Amino acid sequence: MTDRVRSLAGAAAFVDRVGLALVFAKEAVALPSLLEAVAGPGPTPWVEERADGRLEMTPELSMVWAWKDELAERRLACVGKHLRGWPSLVSLRLLPALYALTGRPGTADDFRDTVLPPIEREVAEAVLDRAPADSRDIRQAVGRQRAAIVSRAIDSLQRQLVLTRAGTIHRNQGWPGTAYDILARRHPLGRLPRPDDARVELAATVLRSAGALSAADLSRALGFARTESTVALERLAAGMWPATP
10-residue mean pLDDT profile of the chain (245 residues): values are 84 98 95 95 71 77 95 98 97 98 98 96 97 94 87 98 96 87 97 96 96 96 97 92 52
Cβ atoms of residues 67 and 15 within 8 Å? no
Region for residue 103 given its phi and psi (left: phi exceeds 0; alpha: psi -120 to 50; beta: otherwise): left
Over 24-93, what HEC string results?
CCCCCCCCCEHHHHHHCCCCCCCEEECCCCCEEECHHHHHHHHHHHHHHHCCCCEEEEEECCEEEEECCC
pLDDT number for residue 48: 66
pLDDT number for residue 47: 67
pLDDT number for residue 66: 95
Write out the CATH class of domain 106-186. mainly alpha
Residue among 191, 189, 183, 208 at smallest CA distance from 78:
183
